[in-house]
Chain A
């Protein structure tokens, strides 16, 4: 009598049947931005395969090629599509290498803050009491301190603690830590709020009554149920982290010029802006904006889809 229709769907069938998939194929912006992101990720991580030049191999560089404008201008050379910079490095290759650094820093920072924030938020929401109060006060304090300032501070302290020689090597880790530590309160807040909702649902009580331990309840039962909002924050946070990385590098406190990220490239190119070599700063900047914009578009779509309340 309680017959449900008999064909149990496969996992892929389930995905295809879901509203999320439907909303994805119906949303041109979501498709376009994911395609762009895929291309950027692919080209950045497999940059050696994609470009013929290694901009960091001094032997392949020639100062004769310096300040070549993009290939479509009068003085441009076909072999340097986007021109070259002051040291004769091919802009396109340099940008892709730079974007790899930016992406690595962005991803690592966001994963770091995600793990930190979610575990603090989850435990705070679950256990409550004074522990929760302390964690939430901490996030409140940190949320009022803007992330860029936080990152600058961490960086400043690190500079004081680490010797100058060490600093260039450590810079990338310091940067990841600095950005990660400034983003975690977002995750903590969202996951705590979601945990509070989930904790009061009866399935958690049911598990407690059965005798399931707190840790298993938290990670097996609650965690999968709070991942949606965390994922949305994570996507938008990734864009913010990449922007923060480039901002810090632009201010000269990020990654050192020897392994330039997008922000470093923009800073270096900025010096040539007034002398007419606009492409040296323009292309990394555009690239950065496209990258951040695509991530944000995707995040925006995710938020609208995963939060059906606003989308009736």
Chain B
């Protein structure tokens, strides 16, 4: 976390001269020095860094060069849109990905498995933005049943704006969330499938067969439980990746979330927004890793119960 904070601070500090970005060409040198002073840019590096960390922990990242509004305000405004999108996509990707992965892992040679696998390979080959464009063309341009951009009507709950409460909001989230989840879903299918196939080859599955345990129990109890352990890790990485890929989806569908904000920031070298976004992402990743570790502890007995081999 601190590392990321430092990186984003360095971004802030060393990439270009922020003053140049903030003021026009005609500003005099004295004026520049004055702004520099008020921004505290003359202080030694470590003091600046401490200030940055303190401010960041309070959620203050300064003022956007480009939009001339406080970054924290921009982020809170955009955050609900991104989070709603990511959560819906994560659910779609995880649930359908795991189900299909288990199915194809268990029924290795079926016709349906072959189809699912071919489609999933195609899914890995389809860039998210191409899927988005195809969807827009199909559902918005040709069929005209779903909106191609924006969030639809949103309900303001004070601290949160949600699209879940209106029909247009729900309609608007379908295309972006499906688009976003497809790429991840195909990944999960393939990972879960490989995992299931590997487990079905292990000695303990063979031993269970030799004991006459029914195929149903072997597949859905013995193999599935072991197979689902890595899914937790996948799910963790998955959410992180979804946030990153939401940048693309938000651009294609002009979804008013943080990713869209970020991509504009990159194009205009709007450092405060970039570093704030980075800190936010880092925070999310750290949280996810933490949760994944805790989940492992509860699910995998090999971690939970320390070996007590001595009594052998």
Interface size on A, residues (CB 8 A): 42
Which residues from chain A sit less than 8 Å from chain B, CB to CB? 141, 143-146, 148-149, 152-153, 155-157, 159-161, 239, 243, 246-247, 250-253, 263, 266, 270, 273-274, 278, 281, 285, 288-289, 292-293, 295-297, 300, 309-310, 312
Query: A155 touches which one: B124, B127, B197, B266 (CB < 8 A)?
Result: B266
Residues of B within 8 A of A270 (CB): 133
Could you tell me the distance between the alpha carbons of A266 and B274 in the complex, rounded to whole angstroms? 26
Residues of A within 8 A of B251 (CB): 251
Decide: B125 and A239 in contact? CB cutoff 8 A: yes
Does B241 sit at the interface, judged by CB under 8 A?
yes
Decide: B3 and A141 in contact? CB cutoff 8 A: yes
Does B121 sit at the interface, judged by CB under 8 A?
yes
Residues of A within 8 A of B127 (CB): 243, 246-247, 250, 263, 288-289, 292
Does B298 sit at the interface, judged by CB under 8 A?
no
Given contacts A157-B11, A247-B127, A247-B248, whether A293 and B122 have CB atoms under 8 Å apart is: yes
Could you tell me the distance between the alpha carbons of A141 and B286 in the complex, rounded to whole angstroms? 10
The interface-forming segment of B36-44, B94-102, B134-142, B166-174 is B134-142
Could you tell me the distance between the alpha carbons of A153 and B245 in the complex, rounded to whole angstroms? 14
Q: Which of B260-291 contact A (CB under 8 A)?
A: 262-263, 265-267, 269, 271, 274, 278, 281, 285, 289
Q: In whole Å, how far is A38's beta carbon from the nearest beta carbon of chain B? A: 18
Sample (13) of A-B pairs whose CB atoms are under 8 Å apart: A145-B240, A156-B265, A246-B127, A250-B248, A251-B129, A253-B267, A266-B129, A266-B130, A270-B133, A273-B137, A292-B124, A296-B125, A312-B201
Q: Which residue of B lies closest to A243 (CB)?
A: B127
Residues of A within 8 A of B11 (CB): 157, 160
Q: In whole Å, how far is A105's beta carbon from the nearest beta carbon of chain B? A: 14
Known A161-B16, A250-B129; further 6 A-B contacts with Cβ < 8 A = A148-B244, A149-B281, A160-B271, A289-B127, A310-B197, A312-B201
Decide: A161 and B248 in contact? CB cutoff 8 A: no
Residues of B within 8 A of A159 (CB): 266, 269
Decide: B245 and A148 in contact? CB cutoff 8 A: yes
